[in-house]
Structure 1
Amino acid sequence: MAPTQTVHHHRSTTKTSHKPYKSKHASKGALKDINKGKVERGTRKTPHQQLMSKLDRRNQARQKQQLKHQEKAQANSIFTGANGAPRHVAVVPLSADIDVAAILRSLNESVDVSADVSADTISRVRIDRFRQSLQYIPAKFDLMGALDVCRMADFVVLALSSEVEVEEHGEQLLRSIEGQGISNVVAVVQGLDKINPPKRRPQVASSLKSFINHFFPSVEKVLSVDSRQECSNVVRSLCTATPKGIRWRDERSWMLVEEMKWPEATGEVVDDVVLTGIVRGKGLKADRLVHIPGWGDFQIDSITAAPLPSARGKRDDAMNVDENEGPQVLDVPTADRDDLATVAPEEIEMEEDDISVADTERKGVLLDDHHYFSDDDSHLPARPKRLPKGTSEYQSAWFIDDVSDSGSDIEEEEEGEDEAMAMDTAGNPEDGVFPDRQDAMTEAGPSEYPQSEMFLDPAPEDEAEQLEEYRASRRKEASDDLEFPDEIELHPNVLARERLARFRGLKNFKTSPWETAEDRPHEPEDWRRLLQIVDYKGSKNRTLREALIGGVNPGIRVDVHLRGVPSSLRNRRQPLSLFSLLRHEHKHTVVNVNMHLNSSVEEPLKSKEELVVQCGPRRLVVKPVFSAGDNTPNNVHKFDRFLHPGRSAIATWIGPLTWGAVPVLVFKSKQNQDPELLDSADADAEAQIDIDNLELIGKGTVVAPDQSRVVAKRAILTGHPYKIHKRIVTVRYMFFNAEDINWFKALQLWTRRGRSGYIKESLGTHGYFKATFDGKLNPQDSIGISLYKRVFPRKARALEEVVA
């Protein structure tokens, strides 16, 4: 065997390769090269994003099915059994020719039930075929009556006519019951068999279905009450379907009033007024107040059992109960009961209320939280000095106050304010928000131009003529594009510092603090005694959880004994419903509602105009204050003079608290079209509200109440650049005397095109002044200053008090 030949190998290069550095923070380019051609896989971080096995998916589906079945059984448990609660069925006509009594008779005859029904009373029938009880609540062709009936119903039967189209009143009724919240909807048509020829009947039914689907898309078919088979289908749906309920209603305890008893006692106020009905929603507690629509708020004296005579007889025979035994008491008030006080007692007011604002003579306008520009400081109280112990008054003259920049009004923003980036801080020049400019000048910045020059006042006749020409052109511009909606014009003989005494300036409308001490003399009555909620979300959750525990269980027929009922209510009709209020819902607070107008409303709604609102079970007469709904760091929001169609705003008034996002309906009295009645109608508009003459103009939702929320009304004073020399501008027509210029000298000037500046000095005695800006102005530009005044909300009144 030949010896193995050794092959000599030379290395290919003299370079040595070192171990590459594995960086965890590679560049974007390096990562891109590494992942080139690869498909990135999404990462699943949370447990519900993880991949599940087939067995886990099947188990999860079974658990969801069981949970859904339990919820359905729990929702229907209140209706089961011979003594179960009846299902409330509201029958609402959508046109004047609908015969509600005929519809009820057709429904009963379809399931072989013979019972006397009427369109004026509530009737209860037992459907043996489905082992359920139905309680029919007929409604009139009336807006408020239909709303009262629908909010007590588990099912709403909308009755359409085959011959008469649904007019404006019927459409308004549909929008209203949809806005307040509605449970299951069933649509029926009356008089379909009278349509000739018969082949047109399916077309009429299809047309009615498309109309009702515009408001309630879940409706699958419009059934005819002239057909026995379709009436039977309606009754089957009413007896077997699970009512979805109304959320705001079912968060409270409520009751349909079946019977009412007044005591024989006489007097202005009587006790032991008894309302009978079946508890629904949550448990009914004697400690909580109850609200009866049309009557008001009352305290409960006791809650006793009131079973039906048939059920009571069977149970008494089985148990041999003594007939002389009184009714069973289910609940009585405890020490935790709510009182009828709407505001806090006077002795519980905050201590800071005793602090009064120093009544001193101010020399300038309030800017943020300071008064500025006063050469004479004699009117200000002396600030105490920090002196060593034992220093005499003479020696104190040699001690200089320790002044630091920490108290400057030009403080730097703290780092913690970076968290407010989610806030709405964007704005316009009139709000004090300007684009960042590198060449921006400050008020105290040096200037290469002379600080004063000779100025001659124009003749009074020429000045008046020029002022009128200028304002005429400004009015034309404002009418064209509404460029300055908050602009006001002062008469030359009116002193601006007196006309705008309550107004103040803000460096930045959305970030500058609002000094509340200046508003103390103008606060409404009992403003400091209103309910204040620091943590609204937490308080709401605790209150709603509290309603889940205790009280008389739903489904039990009870007698509710009321105390302190005015005898004047005897003359009113029997109430239809009773609502148990949650804790604190009787107390007054600053109510905020996110409101918008209906699409059918074309004209804007003026702020502080009298309206009728329905908020949950209550109806109030309010004069709301509209403001922007933005989220600002300083909680200051701009007052809106009008609520325009297509926009939303926060409507504010003082009224009872309502927990949760409860829907709100907004009504307004219809205007008289008869010219002869216009004068008398305007005179009586404030005195009387006609409930039968209301129209739905808007809807809303209750948001968190906030007493510290400032609604600021803005006033803009504008001037005209008379002379322009680079950044030095002579301005006229903003003020008309030198005293007003000195008073408002601290305010920042702004222009329509985004420039900012300050007043330097007054020129003459007719209101001309010199100003410096951060850039050269255009001669066509307009100069303005913004002033703000807090607007307080007005107190609401209960509708039953106004129409009583």
Structure 2
Amino acid sequence: MAPVVTQTHSHRSTTKQTHKSFKSKFASKSALKERSKGKIDLGVRSTPHQQTLSKLARRNQAKQKRLTTHASHVRAASIFTGLNPAPRIVAVVGLSSDVSPAAAIRSLLAGVEAEEGVLVPETGCVKVNVERFKQNITWVPVSRDNGIFGVLDACRVADFVVLVLAANQEADTFGQEIIKCAESQGISNVLATAQGLEAIENPKKRSQAAASLKAYINHFFPAVEKVNSLESRQEALNVVRTLCTVLPKGVRWREDRSWMFAEEVRWLSPAGSGESQVVVTGVVRGKNLKADRLVQIGDWGAFQISKITAAPHEASRKGKGSAMAIDAEGQDAVLDQPTEDRDTLDELAPEEIVMEDVDNYTPSMATTNQKGVLLDDHHYFSDEETRLPDRQAKRIPKGTSKYQSAWYVEDVSDSGSDLEDITDDMEDFIADPGRADTVADVDMDAFTEGGPSDYPQSEAFLDPSPADEADQIAAYRNARNARKEEANDDLEFPDEIELPPNALARDRLAKYRGLKSLKTSAWNTEEDAAYEPSEWRRLLEIADYRGAKNRVLREALVGGVAPGTRVHVYLTGVPADLARTYNPAQPLALFSLLRHEHKHTAVNYSLNLSSSLTEPLRSKAELVVQCGPRRFVVNPLFSNADKTPNDVHKFNRYVHPGRSAMASWTGPLTWGSVPALYFVRSPETGTLTLVGTGTSLPPSHTRVIAKRVILTGHPYKIHKRVVTVRYMFFNAEDVAWFKALQLWTKRGRIGTVKESLGTHGYFKAAFDGPINPMDAVAVSLYKRVWPKQARVWRKEGEGGVPELVMG
């Protein structure tokens, strides 16, 4: 029987009453913000990438990424697999003078018991088959006697770079230079080894030495996990295992092109014009090798390919005769030949037969018919709207010379018989220094306007005597030059120049113009046509750099000889005298140039100057530049690396240590971002010193490099906002020519030229506020400077200091 539940009676509470919550159709911004709790409404997700994927879709997407990564890995490793895989190129570089790269190679081979029958030279290369890992390794011991470029040539084509350090020293000066240069040009996988660690008897000091070497090498290559001892067979085995099993990551700019390490170079019979045909044998790496593209081989230059034939390895002796016959037939099989789309060796576009724009524009047109300096895109005071009125005859006291009449601004008075008319066409009158003619009798009130004004009353201005003026100019400039040097004080006094008193500024600065704003004012390029180099209009122009680069890189993926194929490349037009410069002991590489990379254009490179330099680098100084597989001798123009709406950039006379700039010259085009190294060649010893690094940037034919000059003057008299300025110009003609330019002071005041005073270049200027007597009045002028032509750098002779051969 179920239990009986007794219910107790209770009354409803009357003291508590719950009201219905207020539901508003509209809410305030604060209420909506409180309700959202920081959530953001993304709206409708329109694209498939914005849609929320299901679990199955996410799993399928991860699978597709995994398969794509695996396929790319297999494709990259395919050249090292198969019956005749491509050898892995290993460059062994010593970072100090007391280590031996050849001894390091012998120690590594001893770790895998492959040293028997292998003769490792001190220089050159040796190919070894590592039977334990079924891989071929081409060892390249790098000799320090080949110079910095010899080391870079070996590291540039290496799949692995093995650095050999001494146990008692990390690296000497040249070793540090090697690390900086190799890291800057792009380097593949790096392994670190040490010689002489076992010679340290104390185990504690031995581990400390290894830790010190690891900390040093990690400063440049953080991915290095350990410094292996070459005396330990187990660690040597680990190094060789890494070389044989790890897939090299490569270098980005190198893998975008087809390249080949030259295993053999043969010179055929020379042609009749001093040219020869050269056959280069090696394994194709990177992208597909095409016979239509030019190739750059070492420092010899760029050449055309006549044909590409197969060069398979010798057939195994264990094979039957039929197999050997098939292999013999494929020995000379032509894999690729040039077509009509073949690149030429022309560096510039063909000359135009009719060039009316250039022929009709002569340099004399720049200044002959103009009456004022070019400001932005207009010559002020040269047309009917902005020109100054012609000088009219004015009435001055009788007996006044032309020299004295320059100080009368208006007519004195028409009343009185002691006045005469004078014009600028009257014969010059040389006043006698002993004359007593003065202007004390002239009523000065006749030269001023009625009403209050900030401008002072016009007064007769007397020029100082030539001797006094020369002394004053010398004293003024000596005080400035005592604290000014051209290079060291370029930061404090940039672009300032001083004109000689006896020279006309309008003639000396005929190529210069004024700009209201360097970054926004339009630059009139028609004025530059008279001064541009003769080959400027023949340079390559690229309208859409990004689109053209993508098309060229996609083109390199189609056709040609596939990577991993051993071929003979036949080059034509190679100068026969280069045969004596070829040294088989030094590594030689062949790089295929992309389309248009042999044509010249206005190239731009970034420059990061080393902070360890003690002196700034002057613009137009001779530098040796390595960019990818090519080296040039250039005289670059340095400019600001900013982005401006008008594409006008200020020219820099110097680049100071630790700073960056844009280096420009005319030379071969380079697609993509390729690292560049800048070297200075010592005139006494011929040694090359790394001074900076950079990257190739998109070329620009319309980029204007504007050289600025600043003319400074001294405030002679100051009356509120009106200042009499001297020592900026030294004749009245220059004041009238540059009158349209804007004046500025080093303390931020802006002004304009009001009128010229006298004949010695004094003038009256009005500013936007009172100026300090210690301030300096200045005006900026700009002219376009043109990049200079690059020359090819070639190495002359087998030994000694490399010489520069202009080509």
Q: TM-score under structure 1 normalisation? A: 0.82
Partner of 1:15: none
C-alpha displacement of 1:374: 4.3
C-alpha displacement of 1:61: 3.7
Note if 1:609 corresponds to 2:594: no
Partner of 1:632: 644
C-alpha displacement of 1:657: 0.6
Q: Distance in 1 between matches of 2:619 and 2:332?
A: 53
Pick aligned residue for 1:372 from 375, 380, 386: 380
Partner of 1:119: 122
Partner of 2:716: 722
Partner of 2:166: 161
The AA in structure 2 aligned to 1:708 is: T
C-alpha displacement of 1:729: 1.9
Deviations 1:438-468 (A, max 9, x none): xxxxxxxx98747954222233344334333
3-state SS of the aligned residue for 2:763?
strand
Which stretch of the first structure deviates more once superposed, 779-788 or 338-347? 779-788
Contact 2:358 2:530 in 1 (8 A): no
Q: Distance in 2 between matches of 1:469 and 1:270?
A: 65
Unaligned runs of 5+ residues in structure 1 are 1-17, 381-445, 672-680, 682-688
Deviations 1:651-698 (A, max 9, x none): 011111110000000111247xxxxxxxxx4xxxxxxx83xx111110
Deviations 1:511-560 (A, max 9, x none): 11222232223222311101111111111111111111110000000000
User: Structure 1 residues 20 and 770 mapped into 2: Cα distance closer, same or farther (>3 Å)?
Assistant: farther
C-alpha displacement of 1:122: 1.4
The AA in structure 2 aligned to 1:653 is: W
C-alpha displacement of 1:505: 1.0
3-state SS of the aligned residue for 2:601?
strand
Note if 1:69 corresponds to 2:60: no
Q: Map of 1:704-743 to 2, 5 A cutoff?
A: 704-743=698-737
C-alpha displacement of 1:363: 2.6
Contact 2:641 2:662 in 1 (8 A): yes
Partner of 2:460: 454
User: Structure 1 residues 556 and 311 mapped into 2: Cα distance closer, same or farther (>3 Å)?
Assistant: farther
Partner of 1:539: 548
User: Structure 1 residues 599 and 58 mapped into 2: Cα distance closer, same or farther (>3 Å)?
Assistant: farther
Note if 1:32 corresponds to 2:26: no
Q: Distance in 1 between matches of 2:330 and 2:166?
A: 53
Partner of 1:85: 86
Pick aligned residue for 1:362 from 359, 370, 393: 370
Which stretch of the first structure deviates more once superposed, 488-497 or 181-190? 488-497
Partner of 2:606: 594
Q: Map of 1:241-390 to 2, 5 A cutoff?
A: 241-265=246-270, 267-310=272-315, 314=319, 317-318=322-323, 320-321=325-326, 327-347=332-352, 352-357=357-362, 359=365, 360-374=368-382
Pick aligned residue for 2:794 from 779, 782, 800: 800
Note if 1:523 corresponds to 2:532: yes
Partner of 1:466: 472
Q: Distance in 2 between matches of 1:447 and 1:560?
A: 86
C-alpha displacement of 1:58: 4.1
Q: Map of 1:136-285 to 2, 5 A cutoff?
A: 136-141=139-144, 142-265=147-270, 267-285=272-290
Q: Distance in 2 between matches of 1:714 and 1:579?
A: 41
User: Structure 1 residues 266 and 70 mapped into 2: Cα distance closer, same or farther (>3 Å)?
Assistant: closer
User: Structure 1 residues 322 and 34 mapped into 2: Cα distance closer, same or farther (>3 Å)?
Assistant: closer
Contact 1:304 1:331 in 2 (8 A): yes
3-state SS of the aligned residue for 2:64?
helix
C-alpha displacement of 1:605: 0.7
Contact 1:83 1:311 in 2 (8 A): no
Q: Distance in 1 between matches of 2:730 and 2:664?
A: 37
Q: Distance in 2 between matches of 1:491 and 1:755?
A: 26
C-alpha displacement of 1:209: 0.7
C-alpha displacement of 1:63: 3.4
User: Structure 1 residues 342 and 271 mapped into 2: Cα distance closer, same or farther (>3 Å)?
Assistant: same
Q: Distance in 2 between matches of 1:349 and 1:207?
A: 69
User: Structure 1 residues 618 and 350 mapped into 2: Cα distance closer, same or farther (>3 Å)?
Assistant: farther
Deviations 1:321-376 (A, max 9, x none): 39578710000000000010000010378664344247344332222222222489
Q: Map of 1:489-500 to 2, 5 A cutoff?
A: 489-500=498-509
C-alpha displacement of 1:475: 4.1
Q: Where do 4+ consecutive residues of structure 1 move more than 6 Å?
A: 18-21
Partner of 1:772: 766
Pick aligned residue for 1:667 from 651, 674, 679: 679
Deviations 1:120-171 (A, max 9, x none): 2211112222221111111112311110000101111111111344111100
Contact 2:269 2:276 in 1 (8 A): no
Q: Distance in 2 between matches of 1:349 and 1:243?
A: 54
Deviations 1:65-106 (A, max 9, x none): 333322222211110012111111111111112222222222
Q: Distance in 1 between matches of 2:728 and 2:563?
A: 68
Which stretch of the first structure deviates more once superposed, 68-77 or 286-295? 68-77
Unaligned runs of 5+ residues in structure 2 are 1-21, 389-451, 796-802
Pick aligned residue for 1:569 from 575, 578, 582: 578
Which stretch of the first structure deviates more once superposed, 479-488 or 642-651? 479-488
Contact 1:81 1:131 in 2 (8 A): no
Identity %: 58
3-state SS of the aligned residue for 1:522?
coil
Q: Map of 1:784-799 to 2, 5 A cutoff?
A: 784-799=778-793
Which stretch of the first structure deviates more once superposed, 654-663 or 490-499? 490-499
3-state SS of the aligned residue for 1:564?
strand
Q: Distance in 2 between matches of 1:458 and 1:738?
A: 15
Partner of 2:661: 649
Which stretch of the first structure deviates more once superposed, 752-761 or 278-287? 752-761
User: Structure 1 residues 325 and 111 mapped into 2: Cα distance closer, same or farther (>3 Å)?
Assistant: closer
Structure with bigger gyration radius? 2
User: Structure 1 residues 251 and 322 mapped into 2: Cα distance closer, same or farther (>3 Å)?
Assistant: closer
User: Structure 1 residues 314 and 280 mapped into 2: Cα distance closer, same or farther (>3 Å)?
Assistant: farther
Deviations 1:206-260 (A, max 9, x none): 1111111111000000111111111110110001111000000110000000111
C-alpha displacement of 1:318: 2.6
The AA in structure 2 aligned to 1:83 is: N
3-state SS of the aligned residue for 2:644?
coil
Q: Distance in 2 between matches of 1:561 and 1:356?
A: 48
User: Structure 1 residues 354 and 457 mapped into 2: Cα distance closer, same or farther (>3 Å)?
Assistant: closer
Q: Distance in 2 between matches of 1:526 and 1:572?
A: 32
Q: Distance in 1 between matches of 2:214 and 2:270?
A: 54
User: Structure 1 residues 699 and 326 mapped into 2: Cα distance closer, same or farther (>3 Å)?
Assistant: closer
The AA in structure 2 aligned to 1:654 is: T
Partner of 1:102: 103
Q: Distance in 2 between matches of 1:570 and 1:747?
A: 61
Partner of 1:135: 138
The AA in structure 2 aligned to 1:714 is: R
3-state SS of the aligned residue for 1:706?
coil
User: Structure 1 residues 39 and 706 mapped into 2: Cα distance closer, same or farther (>3 Å)?
Assistant: same
The AA in structure 2 aligned to 1:86 is: P
Q: TM-score under structure 2 normalisation? A: 0.81
Partner of 1:414: none
The AA in structure 2 aligned to 1:372 is: Y
Number of paired residues? 697
The AA in structure 1 aligned to 2:378 is: H
Q: Distance in 1 between matches of 2:738 and 2:759?
A: 15
Pick aligned residue for 1:695 from 676, 689, 694: 689
3-state SS of the aligned residue for 2:680?
strand
Contact 2:490 2:654 in 1 (8 A): no
Contact 2:308 2:569 in 1 (8 A): yes
C-alpha displacement of 1:20: 7.9
3-state SS of the aligned residue for 1:135?
strand
Q: Distance in 2 between matches of 1:51 and 1:73?
A: 32
